[in-house]
A = this chain, B = another copy of it.
Amino acid sequence: MISKKMENMVANSSAIRAMFEEGNRLAGIYGKENVFDFSLGNPNVPAPASVKDAIIALLDAEDPVVLHGYTNSNAGYEDVRQAVAESLNERFGTAFSANNITMTVGAAGGLNVVLKSLLNPGDEVVVFAPYFGEYRSYTNNYDGVLVEISPNTVDFQPKLDEFEQKITPKTKAVIVNTPNNPTGVVYSEETIKKMAAILEAKQKEFGTEIYLISDEPYRELVYDGVEVPFLTKYYANTIIGYSFSKSLSLPGERIGYLVIPDEAADSEKLIGAANVATRILGFVNAPTLQQKLVKACLNEKTDISYYDRNRETLYNGLRELGFECIKPEGAFYLFVKSPVEDEKAFCAAAKEYNILIVPGSSFGCPGYVRLAYCVAYETIVNSLPKFAELAARYQ
Contact = CB atoms under 8 A, between A and B. Distances in A.
For A24, A44, A47, the residue with the greatest tally of chain B CB atoms inside 10 Å of its CB is: A47
Main secondary structure of the interface of A (DSSP, over half): helix
B6 A254 contact: no
Nearest to A6: B273
A40 B70 contact: yes
A3 B119 contact: yes
A112 B282 contact: yes
Interface string A97-127: 0000000011011111100111110010000
A63 to B, nearest CB: 7
Interface stretch (A84-92, A157-165, A262-270, A379-387): A262-270
Contact of A2 (B2, B72, B117): B117
Contacts of A68: 47, 51, 249-253
Interface residues of A, number: 85
A272 B13 contact: yes
Contacts of A4: 120
A70 B251 contact: yes
Contacts of A116: 3, 6, 141
A212 to B, nearest CB: 13
A236 interface: no
Contacts of A270: 1-2
Nearest to A144: B3
A71 interface: yes
A262 to B, nearest CB: 14
Contacts of A63: 46
A61 B142 CA distance: 42
Nearest to A44: B65
Nearest to A104: B282
Contacts of A142: 3
Interface in A290-344: 290
A199 B134 CA distance: 37
A197 interface: no
A333 to B, nearest CB: 15
Interface string A238-280: 0000000000011111100000000001100110110111011
B273 A2 contact: yes
A137 interface: yes
Nearest to A292: B252
A309 to B, nearest CB: 17
Contacts of A47: 64, 68
Contacts of A10: 269, 272-273, 276
A287 B284 contact: no
A280 B141 contact: yes
Given A1-B269, A44-B65, 5 more contacts: A2-B266, A9-B280, A47-B64, A68-B252, A281-B281
Interface of A: 1-6, 9-10, 13-14, 17, 20-21, 24, 40, 42-47, 51-52, 55-56, 59, 63-65, 67-72, 74, 105-106, 108-113, 116-120, 123, 134, 137-138, 140-142, 209, 211, 249-254, 265-266, 269-270, 272-273, 275-277, 279-290
